Amino acid sequence: MAADRNVREVWADHKVRLEAGIVPAVPAPVVAQASRSPSQVQLRRFGVVALTEPMAHAAGQLLGRARSADVVDAVVVQVAAGLRADVVTGDRGDITCLVEAAGVSCRVIDV
């Protein structure tokens, strides 16, 4: 969401990661949640990770363990865990709860 709002810090971090050979990724449900018009092109600059059936089941199980309801956040954590990636978010509380419930080590970066 911050990328779509063109937050400078997000794009500075994006550039640093690309220069380090790290390709930032965004789960497809995040794109669906954020895409409201064809003029929103910023998310297209990230690699999009498809939501597979096993990932959907894993995200649902994670929601149960975390006693949470935000499917998109759960998918974000599942993708990050699978890629051993950081999570860049404006929703630290919910993401941290899901990371803890997943029992994974993901750095949560605030925007």
CA-based R_g, the chain, Å = 14
pLDDT tens for each residue of 47-76: 899 999 999 999 999 999 999 999 999 999
- Whichever domain contains 92, its CATH number is 3.40.50.1010
Count of helix runs (H) and strand runs (E) in the chain: 5, 4
In a domain, 2, yes or no: no
User: What pLDDT shows up at residue 55?
Assistant: 95
Counted domains in the chain: 1
pLDDT at 79 over 90: yes
User: What pLDDT shows up at residue 23?
Assistant: 83
Q: Supply the mean pLDDT for the chain.
A: 89
User: Residue 54: CB partners within 8 Å, gap ≥ 6?
Assistant: none
Tokens, residue 75:
């998918």
In a domain, 23, yes or no: yes
CA atoms of 10 and 110, how far apart (whole Å): 10
User: Which residue segment(s) compose the domain that 24 sits in?
Assistant: 8-110
In a domain, 72, yes or no: yes
In a domain, 1, yes or no: no
In a domain, 26, yes or no: yes
What value does the mean pLDDT take over residues 21-45?
A: 82
In a domain, 100, yes or no: yes
Percent of the chain residues topping a pLDDT of 90: 56
User: What pLDDT shows up at residue 83?
Assistant: 92
User: What pLDDT shows up at residue 49?
Assistant: 95
